[in-house]
Amino acid sequence: MTQMDLSEFGIESKIIIRNPPTSLLYMEAIRHEPTTSLSDLGALIAYSGEKTGRSPKDKRIAKNPASQDHIWWGDVNIPIDEHTFEINRERAKDYLNTCKKLYVIDAFAGWDPEERIKVRVICTRPYHALFMQIMLITPTEEELQNFGKPDFTIYNAGRFPANRLTEGMTSKTSIDVCFEDQEMVILGTEYAGEMKKGVFTLMHYLMPLKGHLSMHCSATADPESNRSAVLFGLSGTGKTTLSADPKRKLIGDDEHVWTEKGIFNIEGGCYAKAIDLSEETEPDIFNALHYGAVLENVVHDDNYVVDFHDTTLTQNTRGAYPIEFIKNAQVPCVAGHPTDIIFLTCDAFGVLPPVAKLSEAQAMYHFISGYTAKVAGTEMCVTEPQATFSACFGAPFLVMHPSKYAELLAEKMKNHSVNVWLVNTGWIGGGYGEGERIKLRYSRAIVESIYGGQLADAPTVTDPVFGFETVTDCPGVPAESLVPRESWGDPAAYDASARKLADLFLTNFKKYQEGASQDIISGGPLSQTS
């Protein structure tokens, strides 16, 4: 722990503590924040206040001639002018200068020494400092002494609101990134995940400019060959569960980059959803939430035993912990080129097969689509599943047009002979309410067969609507479950659902069509119905 001078950054506070130890951050949090406490397992329990999740509508990117042509402007990347960014930065610094004590974390993003960036986080809450100390990669003493000027600085003044009268502001919350100044400003939200995703946003800008593919995915590696596999999937598709494989090494659970050397994890820790967490269902994550970890927005009893099923505060309860808390983690978190890419989807329509092999064009199309389906509730008598699409399985964090990331994916697939698979962890034998959810053991058997190479030459049939190759024989999975139309009691009903899902894909893809090549478009559904 060291104190430091930040006057060149416009910060003049009396006490500035750099890279404090976990023990001090625990003590500072409990001493200065009455709601902060310790769980019975020793994790720090903290609360983010009014905002318990990200505020994507309040994210802004400073528009500058040097970067503006690279950026996919729209609902994801909303522009502000540089003067507005400067006003918000000055407002953040003014607030930070009123604080008696600040915490600074200097650390790295990216496990590859040649590609990592130096990140500086300036914040007021010890829980935020501990969170970023977990999520970034801790430098050695020598690296800290020679850290120098950071590549990216985060001014977290989240306890202070933005001025909603400032041009371009829509609320008292504003999360602003300037690629030219290499800075991020946070106002009006204390949700810790904004800092983590700010770093990811920067990497989504920097890495493609170098020809590297930044990915919102989990990754594992074969312990013998060190060849990796990456799993993409939206919430509820089983990405975390299927990445917890005792036969493989965990590279990371959320953010990675694929370079000419292989893949590396951007982060030093994991930020797992904690809703309904139990030792029985997710033992690795549950057992990682001990001293040195942070539990965010969870509810506990008088004995500080956490009720992971209690969503009184939010459904977005979280746990952050260093990746080395997972026993089969590979540290440093780097691995060789992937042998396989897996797109996970939970298709509640019951249309997509448990496993299908994708061509290059289909891989790009499904990557840009980022599809899953959520089970609808009973509100307004809506009982049908709801399709969800998120470009590249992480639309809120993309900086460039999705086709840029898809083209990088295709290039690396081709260069390294990678197989791409669509794995449905949702319904078979009918949609939600008629069929049944695919058993977890079947999904595990499919993924294990992918890793083992058994599916590379497995028999397939071409899907008449989507055009991909449906695998018809997989060890450990009943053959009658593998071809959806044959598992439905009413083939005509299946055909109608398949046409409906195809139309949903086609409608969604219209927003990306202008920036997509004909090769990508050709990977979509074969039957374009009205």
Torsion of CA 448, 452, 458, 462, to 10 degrees: 60
Active-site annotation holds for 54 = yes
In total, the chain counts a number of residues equal to 530
Active-site annotation holds for 239 = yes
- Give the DSSP letter string of 459-485: -EEE-TTT--EEE---TTS-GGGTSHH
pLDDT tens per residue across span 369-409? 999 998 754 334 445 789 999 999 999 999 999 999 999 99
Angle at 475 between CA 472 and CA 481, to 5 degrees: 45
For helices 126-135 and 22-32, what crossing angle results, to 10°?
150
pLDDT at position 3 is 66
Handedness of CA 80, 83, 86, 88 (dihedral sign): negative
pLDDT at position 382 is 44
The per-residue pLDDT of the chain, averaged, comes to 94
Helix (H) or strand (E) holding 506: helix 491-513
Under 8 Å between Cβ of 357 and 343: no
Measure the CA–CA gap between 113 and 120, rounded to whole angstroms: 17
Task: Name the active-site residue from 112, 253, 254, 347.
Answer: 254
Measure the CA–CA gap between 195 and 445, rounded to whole angstroms: 37
Active-site annotation holds for 89 = no
Under 8 Å between Cβ of 100 and 15: yes
At 129, the amino acid letter reads A
Residue 2 predicted with pLDDT over 80: no
pLDDT tens per residue across span 23-51? 999 999 999 999 999 999 999 999 999 99
- Give the DSSP letter string of 323-382: GGGSTTB-SS-EE--EEEEEEEE--TTS-S-SEEEE-HHHHHHHHHH-EEEEPP-SGGG-
Nearest to 90 by CA among 169, 171, 162, 2: 162
At residue 37, φ and ψ (nearest 5 deg) are -155, -175
Number of H helices, E strands in the chain: 13, 32
Task: Name the active-site residue from 18, 116, 125, 318.
Answer: 318
Nearest to 228 by CA among 211, 212, 241, 245: 245
pLDDT tens per residue across span 40-87? 999 999 999 999 999 999 999 999 999 999 999 999 999 999 999 999
Which DSSP symbol is given to 137? Answer: B
Q: In 163-317, where do the E strands start and end?
A: 174-178, 183-187, 213-216, 218-221, 228-233, 249-252, 255-258, 263-265, 269-273, 294-296, 299-300, 306-307
Active-site annotation holds for 153 = no
Task: Name the active-site residue from 216, 227, 366, 485.
Answer: 216
Measure the CA–CA gap between 153 and 343, rounded to whole angstroms: 33
Active-site annotation holds for 216 = yes
Q: Tell me which architecture the domain covering 8-33+54-212 has in CATH.
A: 3-Layer(aba) Sandwich (3.40)
Residue 127 predicted with pLDDT over 50: yes
Averaged pLDDT for residues 4-15: 82
Cβ density class 457-485: b for 16+ within 10 Å, e for less: ebebeebebbbbbbbeebeebeeebbbbb
pLDDT tens per residue across span 129-152? 999 999 999 999 999 999 999 999
Place of tokens 């956490």: 306
Measure the CA–CA gap between 138 and 160, rounded to whole angstroms: 28
Nearest to 428 by CA among 374, 376, 487, 383: 487
Q: Enter the tokens of residue 350.
A: 């019951």
Residue 483 predicted with pLDDT over 50: yes
Under 8 Å between Cβ of 295 and 39: yes
pLDDT tens per residue across span 486-508? 999 999 999 999 999 999 999 99
Task: Name the active-site residue from 235, 462, 507, 517.
Answer: 235
Residue 170 predicted with pLDDT over 50: yes
3-state SS string for 190-234: CCCHHHHHHHHHHHHHHHHHCCCEEEECEEEECCCCCCEEEEEEC
pLDDT tens per residue across span 256-267? 999 999 999 999
Nearest to 457 by CA among 441, 469, 442: 469
Q: From the CB of residue 300, how many other CB atoms can be counted at a distance below 10 Å?
A: 17
Active-site annotation holds for 254 = yes
- Environment class of residue 66 by beta-carbon count within 10 Å: exposed (0-12), middle (13-18) or buried (19+)? exposed
Active-site annotation holds for 318 = yes
Measure the CA–CA gap between 410 and 508, rounded to whole angstroms: 21
pLDDT at position 5 is 80
Task: Name the active-site residue from 118, 239, 337, 485.
Answer: 239
Q: List the chain domain ranges.
A: 8-33+54-212, 338-521
Q: Enter the tokens of residue 295.
A: 């539990």
Cβ density class 29-65: b for 16+ within 10 Å, e for less: bbeeeeebbbbebebbbbbbeebbebbeebbbbbbbe
pLDDT tens per residue across span 247-258? 999 999 999 999
What lies within 8 Å, CB to CB, of 491 at 6+ separation is: 485
Helix (H) or strand (E) holding 93: helix 82-96
Under 8 Å between Cβ of 268 and 140: no
Residue 1 predicted with pLDDT over 70: no
Active-site annotation holds for 197 = yes
Place of tokens 């309860």: 317
Domain covering 338-521, topology: Phosphoenolpyruvate Carboxykinase; domain 3 (3.90.228)
Q: Enter the tokens of residue 387.
A: 């399709």
Whole-model pTM? 0.94
pLDDT tens per residue across span 340-365? 999 999 999 999 999 999 999 999 99
Task: Name the active-site residue from 18, 54, 89, 256.
Answer: 54
The share of the chain scoring above pLDDT 90, in percent, equals 88
Averaged pLDDT for residues 311-321: 95
**pLDDT band for position 329 (50/70/90)?**
very high
pLDDT tens per residue across span 434-454? 999 999 999 999 999 999 999
Task: Name the active-site residue from 124, 174, 214, 240.
Answer: 240
Task: Name the active-site residue from 159, 197, 248, 401.
Answer: 197
